Amino acid sequence: MKLIGVVSLVAFSALQCVAEIPKVPESKLAETCSHAFNGEVVQVYTKVKQTSANFEHTYGIAEIDVRDVKKGVEIEAGYRAYVRFWRKRWVGTGKPQPDHYGHWNIPSQGDRVTVYVKGDRRNGFDVMSPNGFFEVQSPDAREK
């Protein structure tokens, strides 16, 4: 009887975990990105759009003052980087479908960030999914 309870709990937990894709380890982000840098968020621009009866998408650009570069040749300290991100939110009835719901840990103005992106200056930079905003530190957290 205990075995059935444990199996049921594990199966239920597994079903609950499929709603998002798993975080990517920092080593894998660093290996697969074209650019990685630290900086401070100057501004975040977003547009929210209901794309269906069940989903609302947020499309955004984070404007980042680059402080130091970890990887990449087109960006240097002092450069103003504009990085694209997106997020999808379930607004339908019932339980959300298992899916990729976009970027996690989206920063706000004034946050210090470590960002992993793909792209170039000509075509733009896309934050790597799902956790390319790898480290986000708010001004409040820095004061503590």
Q: Checking DSSP bridges between strand 80-90 and strand 55-71, what pairing results, if any? A: antiparallel
Per DSSP, 53 falls in state S
Report yes or no on whether pTM surpasses 0.75: yes
Tell me, what's the pLDDT at 140?
A: 83
pLDDT at 10 over 70: no
Q: What is the DSSP string of 63-86?
A: EEEEEEEEE-SS--TT-EEEEEEE
| 108 band by pLDDT with thresholds 50, 70 and 90 | very high
Please write the tens of the pLDDT for every residue from 42-87: 999 999 999 899 999 999 999 999 999 999 999 999 999 999 999 9
Domains of the chain, with CATH numbers?
Answer: 2-143 (2.40.50)
